[in-house]
Amino acid sequence: MKRPGFISAVAGLVLIILWKMIFYISDVDLALGFAFFILVPLLLDEVVPQQAANRAERWLRNVMQSSLPFAGAGAIAVTLPPGGDAGWWAAVWSFYTLLIAIGGLMRLLSRGFRPVEETLIDLGLLYIAVGGLWLLISSAGWAQYLPYSESIVQLTAIHFHYAAFVLPLVTGFFGRYRAEGNRIRKRYFIRPYALLALGVAIGPILVAVGLNQGPPVETYTVGIYVLVLVWLCLWWFWLSVDFKTWTAMALRLSSLILLGTMTLSFLYSLGLMYETNWLNIGEMVRYHGWFNAFGFSILAVLAWRGVHAPQRHMYGSFPISQLRAKGYVGSDIVIRMGWASKHEYTTGLIPNWRTFKSGQFNPDELSEGVKDFYLHTDAYSMNASVQWHRGFIRISRLIHRVTERLGQVNIPSSGNIRMKGELLSISDHKDGRKQVRAWMRRNVQTGEPVFTALYSYHKKNGATYMNIALPFPRGVMTGVLKPEADGKGGLLLTSHLRKNARGDEGIYFTLGEWTIRTPLREWFHVTEIEKGILRAEHHLTLGRLPFLSIKYVLRKDGE
């Protein structure tokens, strides 16, 4: 079955032929129209799976399916002479590129900056909005207000539709292929691709700076970019032996074309620096632009669509609690908002340990005391030692003022506190997750609420995660923690994304329907000291910067 992007591209090809037959279209205009009608739907269709799992990817798929009318607006804009009418039509296409960029930004925020190939794809989705803006400037006749010629403004628009959009996306698809299965460990290294991706990501900016500054800066920036693309082409050539005949031929031919056009671009910049005009701007546009647009781009796009390598992981597709606070949270919010299940009694944070058994984690390796704590949490009292790290001690007082008013994540400044927890079962129907339990902890000395957390779990790709929701006004923070045995009977719960980036681990914040991955990281380590007494450590970092540690002594009542 043909994918929607392919169908849109075929319809777009028919429209391009009619457009060329009816109107006089320059090579530059035709290259832009080719991007509008064909490359954009083909690439967007490959970015997201047909069954898009998260909000950002569903957004992008809907945007892709509505590409034709917006592409038509872009074509009208470049057909009309620069001015008000052309500017309005260009604004329609610019708005469409902004919709693409919003999807790319939310996709990036919901996942974070790993893995690198997906980040490169998202940067390409962001860059195309810059191309849409430059097209608007060119079509509206605003180039006269800038220190650039009309041709430079138009070429910049093309640059951000091709070098800044097509190239990052196809390089990202190449990265997906590398990451598929165990291919990275067996045949390639991770770091070289990361460096290549960095070069492809910053290359469009380097070239744009070079165009702005002129020679000799232009020669140097173009030269660096050319070296990056030569590396990419050679890698594709070496890789092509692994593919079927058509795909291998497309990759080799697209690589040869890109090598030729980028060499031509560098020689043109070199000629400007030494004032030897052996190639004028018109010839440069004709050869460089024509072969890149109608040679390299379409061959590379079709080749990687044919490979159709999947994402490493379906990011951002885990269940998220539907429960939200409307103001103050506090420890009585469960009763106040009517979230409690009236027909179920619970004593622990998890239903049983069998639920978490997987190929990566065996709960039988945990000590009996650690397992008992999660099954009978309400039987334990907690003494906590709070330590804010250097650089965060002063700001902790400000944070405490805010969290005190919220009644959530209300961690005091450094010192010792005694906490007592209460558990209630939550209605799964209202929450949207499975077997949800609320654990409400309060400061025994002051009576203030400290944490109100809704514990659940979810399974994906053979792993079971703890899925912990903290309600906030109009939003919810979700900690997705991966359980691990420490080999000594203790339990590790971590939000740190594993090295191969194939997991849901992380701390997320959801506002409305959009979920973003925050730079916060946390890990818990629970160990048994003696019968009925446990030690737990909770560490939080901002990126790699530690800012808070809480050490608990958990004592079972009566022990």
Question: Does residue 273 register a pLDDT over 80?
Answer: no
Residue 522 and residue 378 share a domain: yes
Q: How far is CA 17 from the centre of its chain?
A: 37
CB atoms within 10 A of CB 421: 20
Please tell me the predicted confidence (pLDDT) of residue 185: 46
In this predicted model, what pLDDT tens digit does every residue of 34-60 receive, in sequence order?
A: 999 999 999 999 998 777 678 899 999
**Residue of 385, 382, 414 lying closest to 397 (CA atoms):** 414
Per-chain mean pLDDT for the chain: 88
Q: Count other C-beta atoms under 10 Å from residue 462's C-beta.
A: 8
**Which pLDDT value is given to residue 188?**
47
DSSP 500-539: T--S--EEEEEETTEEEE-SEEEEEEEEEEETTEEEEEEE
- Distance, in Å, from the CA atom of 411 to the CA atom of 426, rounded to the nearest integer, reads 24
The C-alpha atoms of residue 453 and residue 423 are separated, in whole angstroms, by 10
Q: Encoding tokens for residue 75? A: 């074509």
Report how far residue 157's alpha carbon sits from residue 153's, in angstroms, rounded to the nearest whole number: 6
46 with 190, same domain? Answer: yes
316 located within any domain: no
Cβ distance 284 to 211 under 8 Å?
Answer: no
Condensed to tens digits (0 to 9), the pLDDT of residues 62-91 reads 999 999 999 999 999 999 998 989 999 999
- Residue that the structure tokens 């980028």 belong to: 262
Mean per-residue pLDDT, 94-102 = 97
The structure tokens listed for 543 are 């990126």
Distance between CA atoms of 169 and 344, rounded to whole angstroms? 50
What single string gives the DSSP state of each residue in 3-60?
A: -HHHHHHHHHHHHHHHHHHHS---HHHHHHHHIIIIIHHHHHHHHS-SS--SHHHHHH
Residue finishing a domain among 307, 323, 349: 307
How deeply is 186 buried, as exposed, middle or buried, from its count of CB atoms within 10 A (0-12, 13-18, 19+)?
A: exposed
Q: How many helices (H) and strands (E) does the chain have?
A: 20, 12
> Are 253 and 361 part of one and the same domain?
no
Highest mean pLDDT among 233-242, 310-319, 399-408, 473-482: 473-482
Q: What is the pLDDT averaged over residues 142-147?
A: 84
- The residue-averaged pLDDT of 225-251 equals 90
- In the chain, the amino acid numbered 462 is G
Residue range 182-200: mean pLDDT, rounded: 72
Find the mean pLDDT for residues 113-127. Answer: 95
Determine the average pLDDT of the residues in 365-380: 93
Query: 80-96: b or e for each residue (b if 16 or more CB lie within 10 Å)?
Result: bebeeebbbbbbbbbeb
Q: What percentage of the chain exceeds 70 in pLDDT?
A: 91
45-54, 154-163, 503-512: least confident range:
45-54
327, part of any domain: no
Average of per-residue pLDDT across 263-289: 61
Task: Kindly state whether residue 312 falls inside one of the protein's structural domains.
Answer: no
Residue 522 lies in a domain: yes
Q: Are 389 and 364 in contact (CB under 8 A)?
A: no
In whole angstroms, what is the distance from residue 352 CA to residue 367 CA? 15
Which residues lie across from 546 on neighbouring strands?
541
**DSSP string across 234-248:** HHHHHHGGGS-HHHH
Same structural domain, 278 and 411: no
- The answer to whether residue 213 is domain-embedded is yes
**How far, in Å, CA of 132 to CA of 152, rounded?**
15
Given the structure tokens 């569903």, which residue do they identify?
A: 58
> What's the DSSP call for residue 181?
T
For residue 547, is pLDDT > 70? yes
Which amino acid, one-letter code, is at 440?
A: M
Q: What angle is formed at CA 508 by the lines to CA 504 and CA 510, rounded to 5 degrees?
A: 125
The structure tokens 């790699």 sit at 544
Over residues 217-228, the mean pLDDT reads 80
Cα 254 to the center of its chain, rounded Å: 28
Q: Please tell me the distance from the alpha carbon of residue 63 to that of residue 103, in angstroms, as a whole number.
A: 9
Residues 130 and 205 in one domain: yes
pLDDT at 168: 96
Q: Do 234 and 346 belong together in one domain? A: no
Question: What pLDDT score was predicted for residue 557?
Answer: 77
For position 24, what pLDDT does the model report? 86
Q: Which residue has the higher pLDDT, 368 or 412?
A: 368
The answer to the question of residue 326 being in a domain is: no
Mean pLDDT confidence for 303-310: 92
SS (H, E, C) 138-174: HHCCHHHHCCCCHHHHHHHHHHHHHCCCHHHHHHHHH
Average pLDDT in the 244-268 region?
Answer: 83
Strands (E) in 407-519, as ranges, are 415-425, 437-443, 449-460, 463-472, 475-485, 491-494, 506-511, 514-517
The last residue of a domain, from among 255, 289, 307: 307
Are 387 and 526 within one domain? Answer: yes
d(CA 353, CA 481): 15
Q: Based on the domain organization, do 373 and 274 belong to the same domain?
A: no
Specify if 376 maps to a domain: yes
Q: How many domains does the chain have?
A: 2
Name the phi and psi angles at 389, rounded to 5.
-80, 165
CA distance 104 to 108: 6
Which of 332-360 are b and which e, b meaning 16 or more Cβ less than 10 Å from the residue's Cβ? ebbeeeebebeeeebebbbbebeebebee
In a domain, 315, yes or no: no
Instruction: Based on the fold, state whether residues 361 and 467 are members of the same structural domain.
Output: yes
pLDDT score, position 187? 47
Q: Which domain covers residue 293, as residue numbers?
A: 4-307
Beta-strand relationship, 380-388 and 533-542:
unpaired
* 340 and 285 assigned to the same domain: no
**Residue 362 shares a structural domain with residue 281:** no
Looking at per-residue confidence, does 191 or 427 come out higher?
A: 427
Q: Which two tokens stand for residue 97?
A: 């590129």
Are 151 and 270 within one domain? yes
pLDDT greater than 60 at residue 502: yes
